Amino acid sequence: MRVLMRGNEAMAEGAIRAGCRCYFCYPITPQGELVEYMARHLPRHGGVFLQAESEVAAINMVYGAAAAGVRTMTSSSSPGISLKMEGISYLAGARLPAVIVNVMRAGPGLGNIAPAQGDYFQATKGGGHGDYRLIVLAPSTVQEAAELVMLAFDLSDRYRVPAMILADGMLGQMMEPVELPEPIPPEKIPPRPWAVSGAKGRPPNVISSFDLDPYRFREILRALWDTYREIEEKEVRWEEYATEDAELVLVAYGTMGRICRTVVRRARKEGLRVGLFRPISLWPFPSEPLRKLAERVPVLLTVELSAGQMWEDVRLAVEGRAKTPFYGELGGVVPTPDEVLREVKKHVHS
Amino acid sequence: MEIGVIFAGFGGQGILLAGKVLARAGMDQGFEVTWLPSYGPEMRGGTANCTVVIADEPVGSPIVDSPQILVAMNGPSFERFAPKVAPKGTIVANSSLISQGASRGDVRTLFIPMNEIAQDLGEPRCANMVALGATVKALGLLPLAAVIAAMEEELGARGREKLLAVNREALLRGYSLA
């Protein structure tokens, strides 16, 4: 049965259905409905909802719950995510599975609460300190928001790497019909023999993000980076739309990705051969499929609600095989389909 | 088929609710829909608008450049959005609060005294449902019964039959005037 839900609510419901039983937050717009939904529904499922005294406290509670072996999540919006970055780096270093939702607003600084995609660098290339990666998934519809949160829990568990959902204010606020996926039964959640869950009858486990001996620490990080290489091989996700005969392909994710779908339809109506390449996993970035596309499509136009962050990954993937122009908006301004179409027409002719 | 409807007015007029009822009715009738609110640090009396898209395939952009239908509940929203309405589109205008005349010859403008009608019905807050009734008629896509059902679901007012009855009546009045 389809239900009409906000993106924020669908992400919360997805987390509950994925077996998240500890959620810690500090409220911030535009993800307030996620917090409200968790407050209302998580306790009914036997979970813990806790509004912490700060973002820093919330992410460290996530660290604690994850170490104890519980599926756990926190959510925030851009400046709040910045505050969580130290804790996220610790999660990555300690190999703890957890899900972090960022409903992006426009920045830097306090910025405003309008939709933007300026946290791409922060999400995919560090953000916190040290040599680590996050699995980063970018939903484009409310349906996908629910599904990708559930996937984020599974991937995070499988690889013991924290996962981030990179959404934005528009996806968080809008409503769309959702067919909610079946809940994951508790027995399907992977066992956690590494968790600090009480050492009665077994040697104690230690969860730690550091080793003072550089040679031993190097081995820990080598193992971590072997895992990242495996994720890059197995977990790349993307969608292509009308790319078969395209002369220009739009590269866009999240909210901008779905707006570009409308752009493709309008362009096609006018006889312009335009397609869409929509990365779903931002890390690992779908470099290989994009490179293949660049061998037959002369122009790949990246469109972002930023000054051009994913654009760097597009150019790295394409390595000069195609033209890679950029169109972006700043400050929370969202271009309409017609505005993007005007930009398309600068690069392609009927 | 993809139809964009913008509801606009001031905070407290039930703009977001009217849009939500339309989106829900569209979903219940098997269409793809999106509902996108303007969100911001608004207060009662500030501006409010929302965009509903109803389509027979998955909706791409929830933002609409030029809506087929504009529901303008006050003067400022009429001025702001009327120029954007698609040619041959419809403007459902609340003449109780809009003193301007029809500004365009290429769209149909329906002036309806929504506040007075709501007053007549004894519930000033149901002007939004008068607007929605007129919108549903202009849209010609969804049966009024489906919209009434969606309104009842959205208000979720079990045991508040009086409230539902007045909102039903408001939808009917709006529908009959378009």
Is residue A79 pLDDT above 70, yes or no?
Answer: yes
What DSSP letter does each residue of B100-128 carry, written as one string? S----SSSEEEEE-HHHHHHHTT-GGGHH
Strands across the sheet with A326-328, in order?
Answer: A238-241, A274-279, A248-251, A299-304, A326-328
Which superfamily does CATH assign the domain made up of B2-177 to?
A: Pyruvate-ferredoxin oxidoreductase, PFOR, domain III (3.40.920.10)
Q: In terms of Cα–Cα distance, which of A334, A232, A241 is closest to A282?
A: A232
What does the alpha-carbon distance between residue B70 and residue B49 come to, in Å, rounded to a whole number? 10
Return the residue of A nearest to B35 by Cα. A175
CB contact (8 A) between residue B62 and residue A170? yes
What does the alpha-carbon distance between residue A309 and residue A320 come to, in Å, rounded to a whole number? 17
What does the alpha-carbon distance between residue A245 and residue A228 come to, in Å, rounded to a whole number? 34
Tokens 């996700």 found at = A237
Domain-located, residue A108: yes
Same domain, A229 and A248: no
What value does the mean pLDDT take over residues A112-123? 97
Could you tell me the CATH number of the domain that includes residue A181? 3.40.50.970
- Tokens representing A232 are 């890059």
Q: Which pLDDT band, with edges at 50, 70 and 90, does B46 fall under?
A: confident
- Tokens representing A346 are 């600068």
What value does the mean pLDDT take over residues A139-145? 98
**The one-letter amino acid at A241:** Y
CB contact (8 A) between residue B63 and residue A336? yes
Is residue A106 pLDDT above 90, yes or no?
Answer: yes
User: What does pLDDT average to over chain A?
Assistant: 97
Among A234, A261, A281, residue at a domain's last position: A234
Render pLDDT for A252-304 as a digit per residue (tens, 0 to 9).
Answer: 999 999 999 999 999 999 999 999 999 999 999 999 999 999 999 999 999 99
CB contact (8 A) between residue A170 and residue B24? no
- Give the largest CA-CA distance in chain A: 73
The answer to whether the peptide bond before residue A30 is cis (omega within 30 degrees of 0) is yes
**Distance from the B58 Cα atom to the nearest Cα atom in chain A, whole angstroms:** 10
**Count of structural domains, chain A:** 2
Domain-located, residue A149: yes
Return the pLDDT at A126.
Answer: 87
Same domain, A16 and A128: yes
Return the pLDDT at A287.
Answer: 98
Return the pLDDT at B39.
Answer: 75
Is residue A78 pLDDT above 90, yes or no?
Answer: yes
Domain-located, residue A213: no
Is residue B156 pLDDT above 90, yes or no?
Answer: no
Return the residue of A nearest to B28 by Cα. A2
Q: Which pLDDT band, with edges at 50, 70 and 90, does B47 fall under?
A: confident
Same domain, A65 and A134: yes
Q: Taking a C-beta distance cutoff of 8 angstroms, is the pair B124, B118 a contact? A: yes
Return the residue of B nearest to A341 by Cα. B65
User: HSE-up of B142 (CA within 13 Å, CB side)?
Assistant: 31
Is residue B45 pLDDT above 80, yes or no?
Answer: no
What value does the mean pLDDT take over residues A308-333? 97
* CB-CB neighbors (< 8 A) of B6 in chain A: none
What value does the mean pLDDT take over residues A82-86? 98
Return the pLDDT at A350.
Answer: 66
**The one-letter amino acid at B140:** G
CB contact (8 A) between residue B60 and residue A174? no
- The domain limits of chain B are 2-177
What does the alpha-carbon distance between residue A128 and residue B154 come to, in Å, rounded to a whole number? 43
CB contact (8 A) between residue B65 and residue A258? no
Same domain, A140 and A57: yes
Range from A4-13, B44-53, B88-97, B123-132 carrying the lowest mean pLDDT: B44-53
Return the residue of A nearest to B41 by Cα. A113
CB contact (8 A) between residue B39 and residue A29? yes
Could you tell me the CATH number of the domain that includes residue A271? 3.40.50.920
Among A188, A209, A234, residue at a domain's last position: A234
Tell me if chain A has a CB within 8 Å of the CB of B84: no
What does the alpha-carbon distance between residue B89 and residue A65 come to, in Å, rounded to a whole number? 55
φ, ψ for residue B3 (rounded to 5)?
A: -120, 130
* CB-CB neighbors (< 8 A) of B27 in chain A: 2, 4, 177
Same domain, A225 and A260: no
* CB-CB neighbors (< 8 A) of B63 in chain A: 259, 334, 336-337
Percent of chain A with pLDDT over 90: 99
What value does the mean pLDDT take over residues A175-183? 98
Tell me if chain A has a CB within 8 Å of the CB of B83: no
Residues in chain A whose Cβ is within 8 Å of chain B: 2, 4, 29-30, 113-114, 141, 169-170, 173-177, 258-265, 334, 336-338
Return the pLDDT at B160.
Answer: 84
Tell me if chain A has a CB within 8 Å of the CB of B41: yes
Domain-located, residue A277: yes
Domain span at residue A35? 2-199+220-234
Is residue B32 pLDDT above 70, yes or no?
Answer: yes
Q: In terms of Cα–Cα distance, which of A189, A123, A197, A186 is closest to A157?
A: A189
Same domain, A276 and A292: yes
Q: How many CB atoms lie within 10 A of CB A147?
A: 21
Q: Which pLDDT band, with edges at 50, 70 and 90, does B158 fall under?
A: low
Same domain, A41 and A63: yes
Domain-located, residue A205: no
Same domain, A261 and A335: yes
Q: Which pLDDT band, with edges at 50, 70 and 90, does B101 fall under?
A: confident
Domain-located, residue A140: yes
Candidates B7, B22, B63: best to mutate against A (most CBs of A within 10 A) is: B63
Domain-located, residue A97: yes
Pairing mode of beta strands A274-279, A238-241: antiparallel
* CB-CB neighbors (< 8 A) of A261 in chain B: 58, 60-61
Range from A192-201, B32-41, B50-59 carrying the lowest mean pLDDT: B32-41
